[in-house]
Amino acid sequence: MDLTFNDAETAFRDELRAWFDSHEPGPEPRHDEDAHWRWRRDWQRQLGAGGWAGVHWPQEYGGRGATLTQSAIFFEELGRAGAPLPADVLGLLLAGPTLMVWGTDAQKERLLPTILSAEETWCQGFSEPDAGSDLAAVKTRAVKDGDEWVVTGQKVWTSGAQYAKWCMLVARTDPDAPKKHQGLTYFVLDMEQEGVQVRPLRQITGESEFNELFLEGARISDDNVVGGVGNGWKVALTTLMNERAGLAFFLQVRLRQQLDKLIDEAAARGLLDDPVVAEKLGDLHVRVEVLRLTAYRGLTAIEKYGQPGPEGSLTKWMWSDTNQQLVQLAADILGADALVADSPWAYELLRARGNSIEGGTTEILKNIVAERVLGLPRMR
Ligand SMILES: Cc1cc2nc3c(=O)[nH]c(=O)nc-3n(C[C@H](O)[C@H](O)[C@H](O)COP(=O)(O)OP(=O)(O)OC[C@H]3O[C@@H](n4cnc5c(N)ncnc54)[C@H](O)[C@@H]3O)c2cc1C
C-alpha cells in the first residue's frame, strides 16, 4: 500500500483546496429540517457548478472522471473543509452509478443530469418492515398492466423520501420464482403520483430523516425498468456495492475532527491527566488512525483487483463502533453539559444510535467478515 500521492493527485488536491477556499456552504441551519435540506441542496448546486458534484462520474456523464484515489481525496477534503455531504448522496453515490451500469441510454440521458444539478433527488426503497437486512425477502409486488407496472406494498426507513422525485425501488414481479433472489425487478419509481404516500417517522433526535412509504396502485412505465425484468437482485447488488464508496474518507476525517474537539473539551476540564480519560482518548486516536489506513487499504484492493474487498464492511463497522464510543466518552467527560438541548454532543449522542443499523447492520457486517475474511462456515 502506497500512501503518498503522485503529482496528478497532489495537483487535484491543491485545485480542490483552492476551490474550497473561495466557496462555502454558509451557516448550517439548525432545528429546521426543510431549511437544512435546502442548505445541503444549494451546496450541491455550488459543487455541481464548479464541476465537483460527481467527481467519480465519467466525463461522458458530466462527471470529472476522477480516479478512486482522487475521489477519496475529494471526500477527505470535503470533510476537512467542514462542509456537509451534498443533499443527494443517494443519487450521486447509488442511483447514478447503478444507472451507468444497467440503465438504458434513454434512462441515462433523462436521469443523470438532474442528479448532478440537484434538481431532482433520490431515495432508496429497499427496506421493508419484514425484510430489512434480508433484501431478497421483499414482498412489495409489481404487476404488469399493458406497458405499465402497478405497485402495491410498503417500504420503511426511506431516507429523504419526503424530498425525492425518484425512488430506486426493488419489487417482486414473479412471486412463483423458485428462489427468493429470483423474480425481483429494479424500478425507477416517480414519487410524484397518486398511489405513493410518504409518512415521516420521528427519530430519537426529533428529526424525520426517514419515512414509511406506502405504495397502493402506483404506476411505473416499462421504460423505467432497470436492467431487465427479473434481474433486480443483481442490479440491487450494484447499488449496495456503491453504498460505501468514498464515504469512509469523509467519515474518518469527521471522526478525527470530533476527537480533536473532545480532546479540547477534556483539556479545558483539566482531565487530560486522568488516566482513564487519557487511555480512552488514546484508544480512540488509534482506532481513527486504523480506520483511515483501512479505508486506504480498501482503495488499494479495488485498484489492484478491480473490485472492493471486505474492507468496506470493516470500515463501516469500525466507523459506527468508534463513533458510538466517542460520543459516549463525550457524555462521560462533559456530564450534564453534553445533554442540554443546545449542545451539539446531545445531538451526536442520539444520532449515533442509528450508525450501527443504517447502511448494513453491524451483525450482518460481522457475518461478512466472518465468512469472507476468516473463512468461517456460512450461517445459512
Ligand atoms: C438512519 C437510517 C437510514 C436508513 N435509510 C434507508 C434508506 O434510505 N432506504 C432503505 O431501504 N433502508 C434504509 N435504512 C434501513 C436499514 O438499511 C435497515 O434498518 C437495515 O438494513 C436493517 O434492517 P431492519 O431494520 O429491518 O432489521 P432486521 O433485518 O429485522 O434486523 C434486526 C436485527 O437482527 C439482526 N440480524 C438480521 N439478520 C441477521 C443475520 N442473518 N445474522 C445476524 N444478525 C442478523 C440485525 O443485524 C438487527 O440487529 C435506514 C436505516 C437507518 C437507521
* pLDDT value at 42 more than 90: yes
Closest ligand 1 atom to 123 CA: 8
Q: Which of 243, 265, 358, 371 is catalytic?
A: 243
Whether 200 contacts 164, CB under 8 Å: no
pLDDT grade for 143, boundaries at 50, 70 and 90: very high
Query: Which H or E run contains 198?
Result: strand 196-200
Sign of CA dihedral 95, 323, 255, 3: negative
Taking the CA of residue 270 as centre, how many other CA atoms within 13 Å lie in the half-sphere pointing to its CB? 0
pLDDT tens readout for residues 338-368? 888 888 899 999 999 999 999 889 999 999 8
Per DSSP bridges, beta strands 122-125 and 148-155 are: unpaired
For residues 177 and 230, the answer to whether their CB atoms sit within 8 Å is: yes
* Residue 111 cell numbers, joined: 436521469
Nearest CA to ligand 1 atom 27: 132
**pLDDT bucket at 307, cuts 50 / 70 / 90:** low
Residue pair 161/211 in contact (Cβ under 8 Å)? The answer is: yes
Ligand 1, residues at Cβ distance < 6 Å: 123-127, 132-133, 157-159, 209-210, 354, 357-358, 361, 363-364, 367, 379
What is the whole-number distance in angstroms between the Cα of residue 23 and the centre of ligand 1? Answer: 37
* Active site annotation includes 148: no
Residue 308 scores a pLDDT above 70: no
For residue 125, the CA-to-ligand 1 centroid distance in Å is: 13
Residues 310 and 215: their CA atoms lie apart, in Å, by 35
Q: How sure is the predictor about 240, in pLDDT bands with cuts at 50, 70 and 90?
A: confident
| Number of Cβ within a 10 Å radius of residue 23 | 15
Residue 19 has pLDDT above 80, yes or no: yes
Spatial separation of the C-alpha atoms in residues 138 and 89, rounded to whole Å: 24
Length of the chain: 380
Cα gap 48→83, rounded to integer Å: 14
Q: Looking at ligand 1, which atom is closest to the CA of residue 363?
A: 47
Residue 127 pLDDT grade (very low, low, confident, very high; cuts 50, 70, 90): very high
Q: Return the ligand 1 atom nearest residue 133 CA.
A: 29
193, 150 in Cβ contact below 8 A? no
- Model's pTM, two decimal places? 0.93
